[in-house]
Amino acid sequence: MGMMGFALLVMLIGLLVVVALIAVIVWAVMRSASRPGSGDTARRTLDERYARGEIGEDDYQRMKSQLR
């Protein structure tokens, strides 16, 4: 059973590698989905509004401090 046991061990290791790879992919997707990206978008929108002159510096600073 020496060669058969070795083949079984290699298949189990391969299966573990595939399962670990799938787990890492799922973890990465879940982590990126749960990360709030709206703060970055809100900050970018605020910067653009300030650059276009839609809001003044006082409003910009006040709103920027509320985003933190």
Q: What is the pLDDT of residue 38?
A: 54
Do 67 and 46 contact (CB within 8 A), yes or no?
yes
Q: What is the pLDDT of residue 37?
A: 58
Do 67 and 42 contact (CB within 8 A), yes or no?
yes
Chunked into runs of 10 residues, the chain (68 residues) has average pLDDT values of: 86 97 93 66 91 94 88
The label of the residue with tokens 């709206």 reads 38
Q: What is the pLDDT of residue 49?
A: 94
Q: What is the pLDDT of residue 2?
A: 77
* 47's tokens: 């910067």
Q: What is the pLDDT of residue 31?
A: 80
Taking each helix axis from N to C terminus, what angle separates 57-67 and 38-52, rounded to the nearest 10 degrees? 180
Q: What is the pLDDT of residue 34?
A: 62
d(C-alpha 6, C-alpha 36), whole Å = 47
Closest CA to 37 of 65, 7, 67: 67
